[in-house]
Amino acid sequence: MAGAGMLRPIVAILALAGTAVCVRAQEINDYPTSARAEYVFGCMKANGESRQSIEQCSCSIDVVASIIPYDRYVTAETVLSMAQVRGNLGGQFRSSEQAANALNDLRRAQAEAEVRCF
C-alpha cells in the first residue's frame, strides 16, 4: 500500500496542473460567444457570406482575441461607434489619446488576423 500513498501527491499535482490549464484557457478565452458571433457576422457581411468566409472570419476573431483582451476590444468597438456621433461627444472620442490607442490596438490585431486568416 505504500505505492498507493505515493500516488496521492502525484494525483494532487496533476489535478492542480489541470486546474491551472483551465484557468489559463478561460483567461485567454475571455470573449463572450455573443461578441464572437457578432464579429463573425459583421466580417461575413464585409467578405461574402460563404463557407470560406465563415472559416476566415472565425479564424480572425480567434486571432484578435489572442492578441487583445476583451475589455480592450470593447473599448475600441465603443470608440468606433461613438466617433461616428456628430458634435462634441463624438469629437471627444475622435480626439482622445486613450481612444486612439485602443483603436490602434484593435487595428493591429485585425491586421495580424488578416495575414493569418485571409
pLDDT value of residue 111: 98
pLDDT in tens, 33-62: 999 999 999 999 999 999 999 999 999 999
pLDDT value of residue 106: 97
Q: What percent of the chain has pLDDT over 90?
A: 57
pLDDT at 16 over 60: no
6 vs 67 pLDDT, higher one:
67
Q: DSSP for 22-91?
A: HHHHHHH--S-HHHHHHHHHHHHHHH-SSHHHHHHHHHHHHHHHHHS-HHHHHHHHHHHHHTTS-SHHHH
> Quick check: pTM over 0.85?
no
